[in-house]
Amino acid sequence: MRLWRDTHEHDEGTQRIGAFSDGVYAIAITLLVIEIGVPAVSSEESLGTALRDLWPGYFAYILSFVTIGISWANHHSFFKMFTRSDHHFLMLNVLFLMCIAFLPFPTAVLGEYLDNDSQRQTAVVFYTAGRLAPATAWLTVWAYGNWHGLVDEDLHPNYTRLLTLQYSATVGLYVLAVALAFWQPYAALAIIVGITGLYFLPPRPRRYISGEMEDLI
């Protein structure tokens, strides 16, 4: 059941964050497909084979596209929890968006070198580090907003603590993926895929001190 809370107003700063963020997300997600180059083949080569050999690029594209798409959807509901903003909060969100906008580059590197035995490790380390960066920035945005009273004061403390634990655990898993990439690149990618799958699930409904719950969209 959806309960609309008209009393939870958001200032102009949080509204502008959403509009600006949408633009950055749109650019970042569009840049992903540009990195998949059209293969050049000679008359003796098969275009079908060349397209098939681009599978690392397809994999990297799908993984990052889903990641950015999920992040955009969660960012939409995430900022509904903040009723106000300040300069530092805005700058931390800019830092987060910088990490999102950077993601097409490590995605391109992963797509280019995933099937290269001698370069695979470096490519996966770089990609997992690229995924760690926005997760860390997201946690920083949340921690700052929560600690400085920018979050809706009616949110239940247990709910905000749960989110802090969830975001911190996600960063921890990304750190594990980066470390594991130095020895087992495919295992590190499996962790990345697992995290992406978990965040594909709907976020938890917001809980308020009054006991009400609100669906997230």
Examine the pLDDT at 145 and tell me if it is beyond 80.
yes
Neighbours of 175 (CB within 10 A): 15
Examine the pLDDT at 61 and tell me if it is beyond 80.
yes
pTM here?
0.86
Examine the pLDDT at 11 and tell me if it is beyond 80.
no
Instruction: Spell out the long-range contacts of 85-88 with Cβ–Cβ below 8 A and sequence spacing 24 or more.
Output: 85/11, 85/13, 85/14, 85/17, 85/145, 85/150, 86/13, 86/148, 86/150, 88/144, 88/148
Tell me, what's the pLDDT at 4?
A: 42
Tell me, what's the pLDDT at 205?
A: 81
Examine the pLDDT at 93 and tell me if it is beyond 90.
yes
Work out the average pLDDT over 182-209.
Answer: 91
Tell me, what's the pLDDT at 104?
A: 95
Using a pLDDT cut of 70, give the percent of the chain over it: 90
Examine the pLDDT at 12 and tell me if it is beyond 80.
no
Work out the average pLDDT over 170-191.
Answer: 98
